[in-house]
Amino acid sequence: MLSSDQTSKPQSDAVDVFWHEGMLQHDAVQGVFDTGINPGFLDVLEKHPENADRVRNMVSILQRGPISPRVNWLPGRLAIVSELLTFHTSDYINKLIEADKSGERREISAGTFMSPGSWEAALLAAGTTLSAMQHILDSHGKIAYALVRPPGHHSQPTQADGYCFLNNAALAVKLALDSGRCSRVAVVDIDVHYGNGTAEGFYRSDKVLTVSLHMNHGSWGSSHPQRGSVDELGEGVGLGYNLNVPLPNGTGDKGYEYAVNELVVPAVRRFGPDMVVLVVGQDSSAFDPNGRQCLTMNGYRRIGQIMRAMADEHSNGRLLMVQEGGYHVTYAAYCLHAMLEGVLKIPEPHLEDPVAYYPEDEAVAVEAVKSIKRYHSEYVPFLRGT
């Protein structure tokens, strides 16, 4: 729960952060990276990359960092089963409930471990995200950030995947649509991995535009059959409303900005949403152990600025941000702070980048984006001629 010094009165142009410390209960596993394997010849086993420390730093940088006066803290809550069933199947939810009742640590899918406390944390992540969306729908604020774990965007309607049990962002999108207050929602996912679960859930819908910018990793097994390639466009009436932007490794700040401006901004403008959801992963950073996309704080700041401008243009400023990956315990928090500086239109950085970063050459990324744009122009009906 929130302590008294974490609450603050609402103010103009602030971000409303939804958080519940119960999400720290989720304890994945220790071993070799995310496998949980102890090979027997290592003295030091590392924490699973999706561990509580990374989120503790995100909370603390917003509590005590330079933009803390512009952060309003609001409590999260547990989701209830009926809410989960708006996106997930009953068979899948029952499977998770039974796994939790066993009281044993289980690997639900590759690299995705459920331990005692994990199910409650997952319910809190889902409920906290739903509270953030409801807050916007009820006109209590326009900019909300669901600071949640475990993450959700790989979780499909029928299975867990990629450290994710419940698809927090997708549940919030369903709430927005089912409320009758939104008819079209744009979801922009900048996590380093394809937001395959969200895409799968809305693959046959023309009410949700899902755009995912990710490294070109392809499928990683039975839990992640989607490839994230440009030809995964949706089906039926949803054809063209799932746009994938697989970017070359090492794309960097300038390459990401080019991709967002050339592909995301025009697609969202054509789509015309009345709600914008930004799915945030700091694992696209230069120092993340799970990705190689070389974004720095400057890159996240620019993305924040562009997303705020899109929300101002299309959804009357309504922007929900949902936390996903980001596994460098220190740098992920710094990148989050930089992104929120951009969202809040803070003109100059309040924090210097604490680490040197790799030199970047956006030429390869620019050519890749041009190729994707030509493909979209030919095969995506509502983007023809762009």
d(CA 51, CA 366): 34
Q: What is residue 50's three-state secondary structure? A: coil
Which amino acid is residue 234, in one-letter code? G
Residue 217: its H or E element:
none
Angle CA(68)–CA(70)–CA(73) in degrees, nearest 5?
75
CB contact at 8 A, 237 and 206? yes
Q: What is the DSSP letter of 162?
A: T
Residue bearing tokens 């995912």: 212
The answer to whether the beta carbons of residues 310 and 265 sit under 8 Å apart is: yes
Cis geometry, peptide bond prior to residue 150 (ω within 30 degrees of 0): yes
Distance CA 290, CA 284 (A): 8
342/82 Cα distance (integer angstroms) = 36
Q: Any idea which residues carry the catalytic annotation? A: 154
DSSP state of 224: B
